[in-house]
Structure 1
């Protein structure tokens, strides 16, 4: 990761309705990295969604790229489980705060401020979600992105000298808290609870601009054979056929 990642431990905010999940994010770009090879897993578009191929036992990380010039909060869900708190995922929960233009990689389930349990593809019964009694949403990675609330400064003409001093002191106190260094025929695939590894974060304060996420992004995954069965990947040995409605040229002699 390029800079320190920040963790916002937020109070649950009910979200009555959510925007439809997009395949690509305008605010935050999400991709999945094979941690052994370092390669970005190819995303295959199909039926308005994007899919990646996973292999049981393969360790992966989720790369998050802030594409804006402001801080954003990213609530990360894996198989319907919040990757920070372990709760059944809801956009109003805790998440990661990215600085402007920051890119970072989340490599596992957050266990503490200093370590994670590695993300690794696993058969559905061995997934963390299934082992904790929540198998219904296995096979999807999602993010809910929130913009930060902007505080409008009061006109100087309406602020007394004492109020200005108090406001400055309050702002300094705020900065001292928040400023930190920058359908398948075969068994489906899920994400397991892998080995513990060092991955430090720091807490920070983040006030959302609203209770509803500004953007949600989803990425589906499964085994190769299941992607082939669903028509997302071509079958082995298959070739793309492009029929030509006018294959001939001029009329030949008999």
Structure 2
């Protein structure tokens, strides 16, 4: 029987992610076992709009307002009393390996200790560096560079519990990751069809290099995920068009809309005043 042992990376963020950092936008929902929020470099949280449907236990979906040209990080809080493995995908790509993600235990993942928080803010290119996540047009995204638009505009976080260990490991500070089983090769020729409005869609680019040391640790995940969260990020104008954000029309200070509108009375028929001339 094959044992699927993953090596997880512990990332040290000199911006404050070395040990526990902060949590996700659902910090207000303490009933969830993980919290996820999307944060800017100044610590502010990008606006999020949760969907009401919770028919699938452990799975949450929400819209997120993306802001063009801004860097962001994915902040995760582990509300459980054990270590968890996190497979994180942006635009359908695993943020550690850069490969197409299926959110499975065979992929590299980050490890988060009990009741800890950490922020993951870029595509990992080495043990010591990541390239920052930045909101941009889909045509300029990292995923599109590989011809992959199969999950454009979606940030996915999948959490796995750890199979109980016989002996606890010594902890090393930072963010922890796990290596994957061999994954099938991928060709850039797998270019997907671009939709007519692809240039208008939001995506995540391959931003500036950022120092983020990591270490590998052993972690054996359970077979099935216990929590999944999906954030569909869009530009504000798109969210308004979809009805996620409701905007009131601008008000004319000198011409109130109700002016001249008879309230609760029969209106004059069309052309009435023309006939009276």
For normalisation by structure 2, the TM-score amounts to: 0.65
Question: Retained in 1: the 8 A contact 2:19–2:117?
Answer: no
Match of 2:33 among 27, 49, 56: 27
Question: Retained in 2: the 8 A contact 1:143–1:216?
Answer: yes
Aligned residues: 198
* Residue in structure 1 matched with residue 69 of structure 2 by the alignment: 57
**Which of structure 1's runs of 4+ aligned residues deviate more than 6 A?**
183-186
Within 1, Cα distance between the matches of 2:17 and 2:40?
18
Relative distance call for 1:193 and 1:2 in structure 2 (3 A) is closer
- The CA RMSD measured in Å over matched residues stands at 2.6
Is 1:41 the counterpart of 2:30 in the alignment? no
Q: Which runs of 5+ in 1 are unaligned?
A: 6-23, 153-170, 240-254
Match of 1:128 among 129, 142, 146: 142
Relative distance call for 1:66 and 1:228 in structure 2 (3 A) is same
SS at match of 1:39: coil
Question: Retained in 1: the 8 A contact 2:85–2:161?
Answer: yes
Is 1:191 the counterpart of 2:183 in the alignment? no
Structure ranking higher in helix proportion: 1
Deviation at 1:34, TM superposition (A): 1.4
For normalisation by structure 1, the TM-score amounts to: 0.71
- Note the 1:36-185 alignment, pairs <5 A: 37-46=42-51, 48=53, 49-90=61-102, 91-92=104-105, 93-151=107-165, 171=167, 175=169, 179-181=171-173
Deviation at 1:47, TM superposition (A): 6.2
Deviation at 1:206, TM superposition (A): 0.4
* Residue in structure 2 matched with residue 242 of structure 1 by the alignment: none
Q: Which runs of 5+ in 2 are unaligned?
A: 1-15, 21-28, 54-60, 175-194, 252-277
Within 1, Cα distance between the matches of 2:225 and 2:52?
24
